[in-house]
């Protein structure tokens, strides 16, 4: 149990967020505005109903539904503007935001045009103290050829604001080794490498990502608790896990890992992993769809039993494991 009340002053400190899906941040009022653009009337209450789902498959259906209204570059600009306001309200000064480029391609969109609009929408936030960088994300179950098309889109875009390539989706669908050449191609462009692993899959999915693909951060990775040697590897190589507690509860991923029907936030393995020496960054994943924000996630971490100094270490880690500057750069920029 936590020792004392939550240290509220931590919420005023500058923070970074590293596991955040743009398409999962769309608030109900913005969804209604999007649908209206396309001649479809969807009220905010209907959006909230869609965002009330059960389990991982329910989440995926809600995600597919809301992204079906992202049809033009201007639609992406609108949701970037809204996300920027959300982040500034939480004292987030830096974020690496994941874009579902694989979904754009599936819907026969031009990612390059969408990204131009995204950059234009993001630019005004720089002068307001928020730096936004981007991760081009493929969908695992679409296969290696589709994933290579995401890398090709990053090559064609040729923007320094794209910092990494990653793969999300169903980690149980296609063997990890099938994506080795895709990751090699991403690395040849100077992109960092990420993967969602150990969310609903076992610890072997995390190890495969590290050893076969050379990934530098793991999305979720809660399955690492089942393999102490893997935790040692992550700690020794300083490979962070991007942990998203509310997401793990609502998708049922944590209950699955703990072999329970339901799981409470207090049973999340974040403290165990952190105290084992595994670097941890705290994030929201799809914040609107998981009914959370970064302040809520820090409160959750306190409920798990983290001390104030451990909470501060999570803030430091969120900067130390960015792809633009480490913790010393953060201190120089924001704490001088």
Task: Write out the catalytic residue numbers.
Answer: 199
Is the separation of the CB atoms in 191 and 215 below 8 Å? no
CA angle 178, 184, 138 (to 5 degrees): 60
Q: Cα dist. 64→27, 214, 255 in Å? A: 15, 29, 23
Q: Cα dist. 143→1, 80, 105, 109 in Å? A: 43, 28, 13, 18
Cross-strand partners of 173: none
Between strands 15-21 and 241-243, the pairing is: unpaired
Number of other CB atoms surrounding residue 285 within 10 Å: 29
19-50 burial, b at 16+ Cβ within 10 Å, e below that, comes to bbbbbbbbbbebbbbbbeeeeeebeeeebeeb
CA angle 163, 326, 85 (to 5 degrees): 60
Question: What phi and psi, each to the nearest 5 degrees, are found at residue 149?
Answer: -65, -30
Q: Cα dist. 286→52, 57, 61, 319 in Å? A: 13, 15, 14, 20
Closest to 79 (Cα-Cα) out of 28, 150, 126, 17: 28
């Amino acid at each position: 149990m936590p020792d004392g009340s939550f240290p509220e002053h931590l919420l005023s400190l500058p923070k970074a967020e590293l596991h955040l899906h743009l398409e999962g941040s769309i608030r109900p009022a913005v969804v209604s505005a999007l649908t209206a653009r396309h001649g479809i009337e969807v009220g905010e209450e209907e959006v909230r109903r869609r965002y009330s789902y059960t389990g991982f498959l329910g989440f995926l259906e809600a995600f597919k539904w809301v992204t079906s209204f992202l049809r033009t570059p201007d639609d992406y600009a609108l949701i970037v503007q809204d996300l920027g306001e959300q982040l500034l309200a939480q004292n987030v000064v830096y974020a690496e935001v994941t874009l579902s480029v694989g979904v754009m391609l599936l819907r026969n969109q031009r990612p390059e045009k969408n990204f131009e609009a995204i950059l234009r929408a993001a630019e005004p936030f720089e002068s307001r103290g928020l730096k936004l960088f981007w991760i081009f994300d493929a969908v695992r179950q679409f296969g290696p050829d589709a994933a290579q098309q995401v890398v090709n889109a990053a090559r064609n875009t040729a923007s320094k604001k794209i910092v990494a390539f990653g793969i999300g989706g169903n980690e149980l669908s296609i063997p990890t080794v099938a994506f080795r050449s895709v990751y090699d191609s991403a690395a040849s462009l100077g992109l960092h490498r990420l993967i969602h692993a150990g969310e609903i899959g076992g610890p072997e999915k995390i190890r495969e990502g590290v050893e076969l693909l050379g990934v530098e951060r793991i999305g979720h990775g809660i399955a690492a608790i089942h393999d102490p040697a893997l935790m040692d590897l992550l700690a020794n190589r300083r490979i962070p896990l991007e942990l998203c507690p509310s997401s793990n509860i609502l998708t049922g991923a944590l209950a699955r890992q703990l072999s329970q029907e339901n799981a409470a936030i207090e049973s999340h393995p974040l403290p165990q992993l952190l105290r084992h020496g595994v670097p941890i960054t705290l994030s929201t994943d799809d914040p609107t769809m998981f009914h959370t924000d970064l302040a809520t996630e820090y409160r959750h971490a306190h409920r798990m039993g983290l001390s104030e100094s451990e909470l501060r270490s999570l803030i430091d880690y969120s900067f130390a494991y960015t792809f633009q500057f480490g913790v010393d750069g953060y201190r120089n920029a924001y704490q001088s």
